[in-house]
Amino acid sequence: MKWLLMALYFAGCQPGLNDPRDLPALDEPFFRCRVQPVIAKSCATFTCHGDGRRFYRVYARNRLRLGGDETTRNAPLSAQERAANFESAIAMIDPQNPLQSFWLLKPLELAAGGYYHRGAVIFNAGNVFHDRGDPDFQTLNDWVNGAREDPACVEPGSNQ
Amino acid sequence: MTRLGRLALVVGLVLAPVTTIGCAHVKPWERELLAKPKMALDGDPEAALLEQHVYQYREGSAGGYGGAGGGCGCN
Amino acid sequence: MRLQLIALVIAASASAEPLASLDLRSGVYQDSDRTFISTTTVAARGTIKQRLTLEARYLVDVISSASVDVITAATGTFRETRHEVEGALAFHDGTRAANASYVYSIENDWQSHTANLGFSHDLAQHDVTVGAGGTFGYNRVGRAGDPNFHRTLYAAGGMVFATFVLTRRDLLNVSYTLAYLSGYQASPYRYVYFNEASGSRGSVPETDPELRGRHALTARWNHHLFKDSALQSHLRGYADDWGVLSLTAGAEYLVGFGQFTVGAHLRGYVQQHAGFYRPVYQTAMRYMTADRELSSFIDGFGGVRAEWRRAHLGPLAELRAEAKLDGFGFWFFDFPRLQSRNGLIVELAIGASL
């Protein structure tokens, strides 16, 4: 038995199995000031991604919040919530094929080359973006393509 | 020596003594027991297929028992 | 995705091949993780001049599952059907055997093409049989309901084996299987949680390495006992370059009572998790999986079967039937969402030869 296991152990493991993830170096100001308003408007309802049980979760004013109570639900996002939204979106970008990421293509209609999105089916109201010409889809696409924004930009709905 | 070379060496060392076992020749008229269906290594292909079907789709290992593979996504 | 294996026909002893045969087998699987699978296969074989065998086989799986994977992904119960067809050709002349087969499989999110070749040769006055085979598979991976998601997975492998007639009552088979997979091997339905720097919990789509090398070393021993019984045992060691290590051991005892054969079998399996598997990911890693089949666990299968064979029944050379019942249990050591799973498998089969 020892011989058997030794023989197989010589197969070895491939390198890099425990490497940290190469998160894409996407622009935080662009996300904060341009992308976040889109996902707050289109993705953050309680029945969609404004739900802590979803794999992709979005914090937004008057929607899902990280702590607080009903009196603070409409307060501007905290730094922690902004960071969580940014990290969640970055994690959903495929570092090898960013333009094929679920985060970008699931909210796009199938006919426009998007991926199947259960949210578009269960509510029977179509997907978030009808086609690639949608200005909000363009915003997300620009971000994934590496667009940058002035770090001093003002996030809509914030108290900056 | 490469990793594959070490594997081949160990497999060879394991199998080498086994190759001498067949030296005691079993004559054809002594093989009636070996011909029984109970002694077949791959008796019923469909039974083996369904059995390996169950194991492959629920365990992280595969191989070693033969059988024709189609692809089950099971993803 | 599971490994494409190799079909190998081991050269049989000089017994008469039936002219034609038809076999139907149907089984149902039910486990405590709310998965139900019904599998039915029908195979037809014809032999020409005792040397050439043609085979056609059809298999259908109907799967219904509300397992912990499905519920975690916030979808309801899913149902799908998989169809598989195989065509095979085998030749043997009493000393050498060769075979080739093609398998096509399709379901709503997977399409597979597999080609297999095999060869064996008897040596040492038929006391030893050596053989080798190869397999190549092309898989197209999709997502249910998604016409735009496409990934590919290639699989290639080889197998070498040797079978030894040790004594009048003993057969020993030793084989080594090597396989390489290249392409998409994750699940497009699974996401993996990790702890974000912000303190929240984030998730990423499951990401597995694109390459996987797999090795299996197996020994099988059949021993004839007493008047009409046999003990079949097997031992397999497995390792791959994802870090999965496993050991499989099993035995079946078969006893004949005239036209009937009854058997009892046990099989045990122990697996060490893949190198990149974590029950909980503290940070985002390059490879992340929520696949419990890559975790550490043990499983056990045990059951009984009863077979009936009647020769020379009217125009039929043989009529046969079989019933099989198995119980099983899985115990997961580092998969938080499921600690254990158990279930039953029931199979019925009927066949006839001319």
For residue A34, the 8-state DSSP code is I
Confidence of residue C267 (pLDDT cuts 50, 70, 90): very high
pLDDT mean over C222-246: 95
Higher pLDDT, C11 or A97: A97
Closest-CA residue of C relative to A121 is C145
Out of B3, B6, B10, the one facing A3 most closely (by C-beta) is B10
Q: Check C148 against A115: CB less than 8 A apart.
A: yes
Q: Is the ipTM of this complex over 0.90?
A: no
Q: Check A18 against C241: CB less than 8 A apart.
A: no
Strands C340-353, C35-48: pairing is: unpaired
Q: Check A3 against B6: CB less than 8 A apart.
A: no
Q: Which residues pair with C260 in a beta bridge?
A: C257, C308
pLDDT exceeds 70 at position A43 = yes
pLDDT for the residue B67: 45
Nearest to C56 by CA among C8, C112, C111, C104: C104
Contact assessment for residue A134 and residue C169, using Cβ atoms and an 8 Å cutoff? no
Domain boundaries, chain C: 20-353
A45 CA to chain C: closest CA distance, Å?
16
Q: Check A12 against B3: CB less than 8 A apart.
A: yes
pLDDT mean over C116-122: 96
Nearest to C327 by CA among C354, C304, C352: C304
Q: Which of B8-12, C40-44, C118-122 has the lowest mean pLDDT?
A: B8-12
pLDDT for the residue C233: 97
Length, in residues, of chain C: 354
pLDDT exceeds 50 at position C9 = no
Kindly state the percentage of chain B with pLDDT values over 90.
Answer: 11
Please name the fold of domain C20-353.
Answer: Porin (2.40.160)
3-state secondary structure of C349: strand
Confidence of residue C1 (pLDDT cuts 50, 70, 90): very low
pLDDT for the residue C14: 36
User: To the nearest whole number, what is the mean pLDDT of chain C?
Assistant: 91
A54-64 pLDDT, tens per residue?
A: 899 999 999 99
Closest-CA residue of B relative to A2 is B14
pLDDT exceeds 60 at position C252 = yes
CA max distance for chain C: 78
Closest-CA residue of C relative to A4 is C237
pLDDT exceeds 70 at position C121 = yes
A12 contact C CB<8A? yes
- CB-count exposure of residue C176 (10 Å: 0-12, 13-18, 19+): buried
* Single pTM value for the model: 0.88
Out of A53, A54, A115, the one facing C146 most closely (by C-beta) is A115
C273 phi and psi angles, rounded to 5 deg: -65, 160
C75 CA to chain B: closest CA distance, Å?
14
Q: Which residues pair with C272 in a beta bridge?
A: C245
pLDDT for the residue B35: 86
Higher pLDDT, C295 or B23: C295
Higher pLDDT, C74 or C141: C141
Q: Check A10 against B7: CB less than 8 A apart.
A: yes
Rounded to an integer, what distance in angstroms lies between the CA atom of residue C5 and that of residue C161?
14
pLDDT mean over C70-85: 79
Q: Which of A34-38, A56-60, C78-82 has the lowest mean pLDDT?
A: C78-82
pLDDT for the residue B22: 47
For residue B21, the 8-state DSSP code is G
pLDDT exceeds 50 at position C116 = yes
